[in-house]
Chain A
Amino acid sequence: QVQLQESGPGLVESSGTLPLTCAVSGDSISSRNWWSWVRQSPGKGLEWIGEIDLSGGPTYNPSLRGRVTISVDKSRNQLSLSLTSLTAADTAVYYCARNGPFSLENWGQGALVTVSS
């Protein structure tokens, strides 16, 4: 059974950069071609950040394009997210997920990130 675990700083400064990693265990990251990041602001709904195709490249939510980078390190079996120019609106729980058939099949437990001013 695949397991995903997000990690990163719980508190980041406004205007700074958020680095998050997602460690994949129980299966190879190469087992599926697409992996995604999703976030959820406190008390709010779900927002897809972007995905990466291991055979191609990343696709980003247009609302975040220019600030977000998703990458994968196959040797470490992990996924990464970088989000720049942070504001309070970026405070959220960040999830990594393994894509299924046009859906998000497996999710990590999430990492809470607070942007401080």
Chain B
Amino acid sequence: EIVLTQSPGTLSLSPGERATLSCRASQSVSSTYLAWYQQKPGQAPRLLIYGASSRATGIPDRFSGSGSGTDFTLTISRLEPEDFAVYYCQQFGTSPPGYTFGQGTKLEIK
């Protein structure tokens, strides 16, 4: 089973700054199978990025995803106040089949 490790655990930044979140897989993951989510307190996760780099419907272009193999990155170019939340990466596996998530990165206001 592939394990996803996100870093850092907590990232403290100010609005307007650039955020770079990392997701490392224990084995190579097809880019097609890598996604990112945002979750705010008391809310369900929201899909941001699928296929490692494709933005989901309605997601602002300040969010971008990149990476391949075992290393993937979510970048938020200029932080807005509403971007402070917890972010999860997710991979779809075929053996065993199903979805697994990283432990999350909390993006907090500095």
**In the docked arrangement, what's the CA distance between A82 and B56, Å?**
30
Known: A103-B92, A107-B45. A50 touches B98 (CB 8 A): yes
Is residue B88 within 8 Å, beta carbon to beta carbon, of the partner chain?
yes
Is residue B60 within 8 Å, beta carbon to beta carbon, of the partner chain?
no
| Minimum distance in angstroms from A56 CB to a CB of chain B | 12
CB pair A61–B98 under 8 Å, yes or no, is yes
With a cutoff of 8 Å between Cβ atoms, the chain A residues found around residue B90 in the complex are 46, 103-104
Per DSSP, are chain B's interface residues mostly helix, strand or loop, or mixed? strand
1/0 contact string of B11-39 vs chain A (CB within 8 Å): 00000000000000000000011010100
Nearest B residue to A101, CB-CB: B50
Nearest B residue to A107, CB-CB: B44
Chain B interfacial positions (CB closer than 8 Å to A): 32-33, 35, 37, 43-47, 50-51, 54, 56, 88, 90, 92, 96-104
Q: List 18 A-B contacts (CB under 8 A).
A: A46-B88, A48-B98, A59-B98, A62-B98, A95-B44, A95-B45, A100-B56, A101-B50, A102-B35, A102-B92, A103-B90, A104-B45, A104-B47, A104-B90, A105-B50, A106-B47, A107-B45, A109-B43
